[in-house]
Amino acid sequence: MRSAEEIMRHPFRVPEALSYEELSRICDDFDRAAEVHPSTGTGNSAAKLNEDKVRAIRQAADAGARLTPLAEAFGISARAARHIVRRTSWTHVQ
């Protein structure tokens, strides 16, 4: 069985044939790595937000606030605010 590191060593080359078990194990490895990544959220030294501010942004957007003024109020870009609202960033925050 190949490890995730062996497969990802050449990320642009598609592996021959992976068994369902290998693929499942690799996906689990990446999920576990994402869960415990130390620079997620406030663990990132460059983070401008914390979990409470992320929740506030999502609640305000759900209530109809526009993203640009909301982003300016929190000192982030409109793009960052959009990713927060769409849950493509800060995904660990409920």
CB atoms inside a 10 Å sphere around CB 53: 19
Which residue from 46, 58, 48, 44 is spatially nearest to 93, judged by alpha carbons?
A: 58
Residue 24's pLDDT is what? 77
Residue 43's pLDDT is what? 74
Q: What is the pLDDT along the chain (94 residues), one digit of tens a residue?
A: 566 666 556 555 555 676 778 777 777 776 665 555 666 777 777 788 888 999 999 999 999 999 999 999 999 999 999 999 999 988 888 8
Q: What is the dihedral of CA 20, 25, 26, 28, to 10 degrees?
A: 120
Residues with Cβ < 8 Å from 71, sequence gap 6 or more? 77, 78, 80, 81
Model pTM greater than 0.75? no
Residue 7's pLDDT is what? 57
% helix, strand, coil for the chain, step of 5: 55, 0, 45
